[in-house]
Structure 1
């Protein structure tokens, strides 16, 4: 097996989850691009070993455009990236070396740089890039809709594909949410974003293979469905196809490529009847490491919440990276290696301050998460003010009589954990802790985490001693980041700044799980090795 490191470019790099996984799979980063300076700060620190804090001029992190000079790094890190595109400052000159660099800014500005300075593309192509990866927003993308250009996000998948077309890597990896497979309507016509994105790559000379997988099958303790498109440059695909001509997956892709190239001037003729994606839930046998990544964890072996974060349950303790007790955490720190001080403390594990009302509400969620036989729904109905029959109320009291809820003792001005004596006590408590959020829930101790990890208030800890939201570190564990990986910038944000700020919680939630990236990267690398050996 060829041990040579492959080269990859990361677009929409985020905080570095994809790059971290690909590095463990044997890829060297050639170049990365990320819109958000906040996420970019985390990427630079962990992937490029470059600290951006303090007014100095970084060497490996360059701004495509900014309203601030290079030595005003603190201002750049808090700059609205959508306003930065109109700035007069740029770190990219004709003689700039892009190798091992992170470029902060809009991908469309990067595309303009490549089009205006073709020598950059020449240099990159001489390096023979093996993989370009990334996760552009694709939910409403259609090649037809691009004529309107009414939504900035609608152009991003095309920009991704165009850069791929310019650089001509051997392979491509695109990650996106499950929603990309749901149809949307535009000008009275129904479109499927995943299909439109696939067409865009064919137009650039690449053959796509599409799949729906779930991170939990690859050792990630999270029930996280994800759409994956991996594409091959046509000459690479042909070599793979010649070796595995009877492969069902490659046949589907080959026929789709031919259909798109035949109908370039009338792409609407190519529909979902001409292509399909392969779902890990319905066709697990195809995820065998030949074309699709190999399943590494079976249904009876999914990593649970307690396995993921049980060893760092109490945030007030100071945990050392080298001293973690959990098998899962040790595995992550072994797979994703990095040199660090032996006494390095785990960062990003500060708990948020909650009022009694929030803690009491979270305790309620923890309790009802344990209810069986449909009583959980009944408890939710009770909590949200829906009518509950007398019979159901009696059954709910039976369940609540086994659990302590968090009440407030006004007489002694303190919080108390007690088992409610009757359903009226439960209802009185509910009146004190109302919420308009219906997505909130508690983790299940012996199940993987649910998919929604972007908004910190949506989930609370599973343990009754900890009626609180997860820390950034705990969320990072669920995303399969090693404990030495430190998230930078603000912890959270709100208000108007939500539109452009990417704080730590969002960085984690938006990231590609490194273990998933490694599994896909391993598989693509194996395919390139097979082709190389032929």
Structure 2
């Protein structure tokens, strides 16, 4: 393990403490994590993303605007070397290709990378996996660890779905995320690691989206600022309520800023969007205003090339009349507090039609008529009319749910048809979903919008890019916490050097 004097002598040379800190984004997707880190003051050194679709969006927003399709496809080709792609800042290959390039790894290590961030899939990860190289489920997390060992960054940030912190505990085994925390602590020179359970709505995103993070400082850096990791998980709500586990906030914990009435809602997020684009509102919500105007994250050359092309990624999906009517029924159920599974009663094979109608009347007994959709259109004048309509349009698919204007969005997923607009009989556009994630309108998604179910295993269209992304607002908060910790270490090292010279 390095000694503290080694920190003072080498790690903060050239007085870099106030420069943009360099980061690497692994499993970068379309760039939600990178966008947040850029807004927090980090500067991209390299991103790695294997999906050509997601990588196209990343390239378009962070590297350069794609105006020459042929030139871009040549760059993105499998035939283009990892070294050539890395020189541009984006490798469109598996992480393994980077690990097999000594030149790329040496260049990164020589840059003294400040932060390696990413969300490696951890479903099958275990500490035993390194001894079983044939277990494909374990390869990507171990590749992440191998990359950290090779590059030796000052800090590491890992993000994943909240379930990763829970899996296997019922069997008395450590969760994959616990195993990754332990592996990171033993990686290279070692890291002090703080687990955190964060909700995007606590950081200014209008979405209920719990995620886990591991926030780590290399042991020599951690010692400089007196940071020690914990086995206990910091939760974003601890910034609002007292807790018994943490007498003090962990140094690297992202600062949560939105609670209770301060949490942004669906109305804040998309109330200013009409089917044709922007609405003219006399009182534009603060969040919507920020989404419309924020381009602060964009590199200068991207901003100059982007210009103002109007609202992008806001193409409405086409629905049949029957589907639109079904969406209005969902909205009516929401407003009347009728269970959404009511729509599936007609599909009960073991029940007669008379029995189904009886069940429907019982489920609808307390509803007010005429029944109206969210747009005010009358869908049924009486309970009997609605029963017959449901008998005609009933479906087993009752997972679709209309959003409520006065609440944050539920967790954004990768499918375009899981949520229904609060008042219009349609699903949501890519832009509306991106607003829930806190992507500003200046961020443009590329490639096709969606894909067939059989192609979802290997294609990453726009809806999937949005659903898989780290909410930029949450990433920004994490980036600010890591930046402050790193700058604190730089300042402490500078002060120590000053004292030595004075002595």
1:468-487 → structure 2 map (5 Å cutoff)? 468-487=426-445
1:243-282 → structure 2 map (5 Å cutoff)? 250=228, 253=230, 275-281=231-237
What 5-or-longer segments of structure 1 have no aligned partner? 59-69, 77-83, 245-249, 254-274, 407-414
Q: How many Å separate the matches in 2 of 1:478 and 1:280?
A: 19
Q: How many Å separate the matches in 1 of 2:208 and 2:111?
A: 38
Q: Please, which of 351, 357, 374 is the counterpart of residue 316 of structure 2?
A: 351
Aligned to 2:181: 198
TM value normalised by structure 2: 0.82
Q: Please, which of 140, 152, 170 is the counterpart of residue 168 of structure 1?
A: 152
Q: How far 1:37 moved relative to its partner?
A: 0.7
Aligned to 2:109: 125
1:327 aligns with 2:286: yes
Q: How many Å separate the matches in 1 of 2:296 and 2:391?
A: 47
1:376 aligns with 2:339: yes
Label 1:320 to 1:428 Cα distance change in 2 as closer, same or farther (>3 A).
closer
Count, aligned residues: 459
Label 1:449 to 1:150 Cα distance change in 2 as closer, same or farther (>3 A).
farther
Q: Please, which of 81, 85, 97 is the counterpart of residue 91 of structure 1?
A: 81
SS at match of 1:32: strand
Deviates more, 1:509-518 or 1:283-292: 283-292
Q: How many Å separate the matches in 2 of 1:531 and 1:523?
A: 13
Q: How many Å separate the matches in 2 of 1:278 and 1:343?
A: 41
Q: Please, which of 4, 20, 37 is the counterpart of residue 5 of structure 1?
A: 20
Q: How far 1:108 moved relative to its partner?
A: 1.8
Label 1:201 to 1:284 Cα distance change in 2 as closer, same or farther (>3 A).
farther
SS at match of 1:437: coil
Q: Which has the higher contact order (CA 8 A, sep 6+)?
A: 2
1:212-361 → structure 2 map (5 Å cutoff)? 212-241=197-226, 250=228, 253=230, 275-281=231-237, 284-285=240-241, 290-312=251-273, 314-315=274-275, 317-319=276-278, 325-332=284-291, 333-334=293-294, 336-338=296-298, 339=303, 343-361=308-326
Q: How many Å separate the matches in 2 of 1:416 and 1:448?
A: 23
Q: How far 1:432 moved relative to its partner?
A: 2.3
Q: How many Å separate the matches in 2 of 1:393 and 1:29?
A: 59
Q: How many Å separate the matches in 2 of 1:419 and 1:228?
A: 46
TM value normalised by structure 1: 0.78
Q: How many Å separate the matches in 2 of 1:453 and 1:282?
A: 26
1:71 aligns with 2:31: no
Q: How far 1:279 moved relative to its partner?
A: 2.6
SS at match of 2:450: coil
What 5-or-longer segments of structure 2 have no aligned partner? 1-15, 493-503
Q: How far 1:50 moved relative to its partner?
A: 3.8
Asked whether the 8 Å contact 2:357–2:387 carries over to 1, the reply is no
Asked whether the 8 Å contact 2:215–2:252 carries over to 1, the reply is no
Q: How far 1:281 moved relative to its partner?
A: 4.1
